Structure 1
Amino acid sequence: MGPAIAMSADVVVTRRVAAPADVVWHVLTDWPAQGAWMPLTRVDVLGPGDGREVGARLEAWTGVGRAGFLDTMVVTAWDPPCRCEVLHTGRLVRGPGVFAVRPLGPRECEVLWEVNRPGMSGDSVPWEGWSHAREYVEEVPG
C-alpha cells in the first residue's frame, strides 16, 4: 500500500489508453457502468436523463455494503468528447473534478483525471483511498 496523500493535496492521474478518444470518452462518462472499471463503486444518475449534460446530478457509492462513502456531484461543464467537469458536493469529497480525453492518434488517447482540493473534516487528515486513484483509472477498458 502506498503512502497516504493528505486530503488538501490535488490528485492528478494521466493514463495512455490504446483506444480511440471517443470510445474512451463514452466509457468514462457512462456513469452507471463505472463500477466495471472503478472497483467497489456504484454510480447513479439522479433525475431524468443519462447524466451527460451540465446540471446533471450524480451519486457515487464506494465501499462494501454499508462500509464506504457517498460522493455526490453536479456536472458543471460538458464538452464531449474532450472534457467533463464536476463539482463534488459530499461531506467527504468536495471541490472540482475533471475527466479529460486528448486524442494522440486514431487509436490512442490520453486520459486525465483530476480532483482538486478534496475536503474532509480536518482538511489535512491523510486518507489512504487517494493512493489507489491511479489503479482505478488504469482499469478503463481499452
Structure 2
Amino acid sequence: MNTDLELTVEVAAPPDTIFRAMSDWERQSEWIFGTTVKVVEGDGKSVGSEIDAVTFGVSDRMRITRWDPPHAVEVLHLGKVVKGTGVFAVRGSRFVWSESLDVPFFYPVVKPLFVLMLRRSLQRFARFAEGYR
C-alpha cells in the first residue's frame, strides 16, 4: 500500500538556519517525538551517507540521495517497515516534510495518530530552528 504525505510549518528563521537545524540529525530527538537519530555511514551531510531514525523502537534507516543546502535533503528509506522516499525541504521561511511511502497494512489504523504526532513535531521544530545555534 502506498501513501503520500506532505506537511509544512512556518519558521521565523533564515533558510540556511532552517536547513542546518533540519539536517542536524543527532538533535532531531529534541523535536521529533519518541525518536533518536544517528549517522551510521558517511558524514550525514553528503549523498550516500546513511542515518538511522529509531521511533518508538522501530528503525527507519535512510540513505541520502540528494544533498542541496540550503534547499533540500532527499532520502531513500531502506527499512523493513518503512520503505519509500522522503524530502526535507526549505521553501523560503517554510519547512516542508514530504514522504512517498510503501506502508504496512495497518497504516490506515495508525495514520491519524502518526499525522498528529508529526504535526506537533513540526511545531516543535519551528521553535527549535528559531533558536538554533
- On the 8 A contact 2:3/2:103 being kept in 1, the answer is no
Normalised by the size of structure 1, how large is the TM-score? 0.81
- RMSD of aligned residue pairs (Cα, Å): 1.7
Residues 1:59 and 2:52 are matched in the alignment: yes
- On the 8 A contact 2:64/2:74 being kept in 1, the answer is yes
- On the 8 A contact 1:8/1:124 being kept in 2, the answer is no
Gap runs ≥5 in structure 1: 1-6, 104-108
C-alpha offsets along residues 59-112 of structure 1, whole Å, 9 cap, x if unaligned? 01112xxxx211111000110000100001111111000000012xxxxx1111
Report what 1:132 is aligned to: 117
Report what 1:43 is aligned to: 37
Report what 1:106 is aligned to: none
1:1-142 equivalences under 5 Å are 8-49=2-43, 51-63=44-56, 68-103=57-92, 109-120=93-104, 122=105, 125-127=108-110, 128-140=113-125, 141=128, 142=130
Aligned positions, number: 125
CA distance in 1, matches of 2:106, 2:74: 22
Higher helix share: 2
Q: Percent identity?
A: 34
Residue 54 of structure 1 aligns to a residue whose secondary structure is: coil
